[in-house]
Amino acid sequence: MTWGIEPKATWGIEPKGGRLIEAITFWAAVTVYVASSVLYLYGLVFKKEQALTIATYAAAVGFVPHSVALIVRWAAAGYPPVASSYETLAVVAWVAVLMFLALQWQFVKTRVLGAAILPISFIMMGLSRMPAQAVEPLSPSLKSYWLIIHAFFAELGHGSFIIATACALILLLKERAPQTTASYAFFDRFPSTDVLDDLSYRFITLGFILHAIMIVSGSIWANQAWGRYWGWDPVETWSLVTWLVYGVYLHLRLFRGWAGEKSAWLAVGAFVLVLFTFWGVGYVTPSIHRYLRL
């Protein structure tokens, strides 16, 4: 072949052992993430530092079988796990956990965000098992190295927005918490609202860049495949809408001094757009991104 990716699998038929390993490692990761979530919540509510530490180690441990599951999937299919809803959800969950582990390594006090990130991740992994998981042959338009670049940056962007939204949600909870001693004691576990605000801002900026790369790489790929870099496809258009809304967020922060609760609400609203763009538009209207449907 002189172009693109040639699927290794005989279409629709997967090596039996590979499927088993993938299933075992996938569910092992989900189990560990659930345990980690429980430990985070326990540590948060009962102020047990040790529980938070163990929860973080558990998240790191769960990350290993999660990675193995994705690698096995890649090996079985012969192409990166980015071409179906099952694959994209599993990878986005992986990216969110990776970014969280990197963040809490840099800022230890942010590890309590695991109480939000880990549940989101294992729920996404659970949702990913809803559609068919069989390895399907790649359609000719997907046989390109741009698939890896485009999907990879999409998933990195989503992971970044998940972290940003988690920070924003906790900021909102903190700001709206009742003014009681118990409440103060609970929320004192989290970083200050200023730091949460900055972290949310930082991850949205990062997500904005990654989302831009996703759009640009998608445009270049579309031009290579179909001779047009922009076709107003619904998912294309909604990706642009999402990116512009985050652009509005950044402008409001920089030039109108928006910060704190106002910014956090906008961050949460923008994330709803992200969810709708990638897992909702396909149900409402036909799109070339039809393989994103759950």
Partner 1 sequence: MRKIWEFLRSRKLALTLLPVFIIPLVVGALFFPGLSYIFSAWWFVAIGLALILNTLFCTLPRVRMVWRRTFREPPQFDRDSLSKLPNQREVGFSEPLDEVVARTRASLLKRRYRLKESVAPAGVSVFAEKGRFGAWGSLLFHLGLLVVFLGASFGALTNLRGRFVLTEGQTFTEAHGDYQQLREAPFFREGHQGFQVTLDKLYIKYDKQGSVADYFSDVTVFDEGTKVKAQRVAVNNPLSYGNFVFFQSARYGFSPLLIIEDKDGRTLLRAFVSLNRVEKAGRVQWIDTFSVPDTDLRISAQFYPDAVAPGGLRLETKSIVPKRPALQLNVTQGKKVLFRGPLFLPGSVNFDGMALTFADVRQWSEFYVTKDLGIPVVFTGFWLAVFALGVRFLFAHKRIWLVLEPRRGRVTGAVAGTSDRYHALFKQEFDKIVDELTQSQSL
Binding site for partner 1 (CB under 8 A): 2-4, 10-12, 137, 140-141, 143-144, 146, 192, 194-195, 197-199, 201-202, 205-206, 208-209, 212-213, 216, 219-221, 223-229, 231-232, 234, 237-238, 240-241, 244-245, 247-248, 251-252, 255-256, 281, 284-287
Q: Are 170 and 196 in contact (CB under 8 A)?
A: yes
In angstroms, what is the minimal distance from the CB of 175 to partner 1?
15
CA distance 40 to 257: 34
Of 98 and 245, the one with the shorter C-beta distance to partner 1 is 245
Distance in Å, CB of 62 to partner 1, minimum: 28
Instruction: Give the type of residue at 95.
Output: V
CB nearer to partner 1: give 126 or 260.
260
Rounded to a whole number of angstroms, the minimum distance from the CB of residue 24 to partner 1 is 28
Distance CA 243, CA 246 (A): 5
Give 3 or 105: the residue with its C-beta nearer to partner 1.
Answer: 3
Q: Which is nearer to partner 1, 16 or 50 (CB)?
A: 16
Scanning 46-144, the segments in alpha helix (DSSP H) are 49-77, 85-106, 114-128
Nearer to partner 1, 18 or 247 (CB): 247
Residue 67 CA to residue 61 CA, distance in Å, equals 10
Q: How far is CA 37 from CA 104, 117, 156, in A?
A: 15, 8, 22
Would you give the end-to-end CA distance of the chain in angstroms? 32
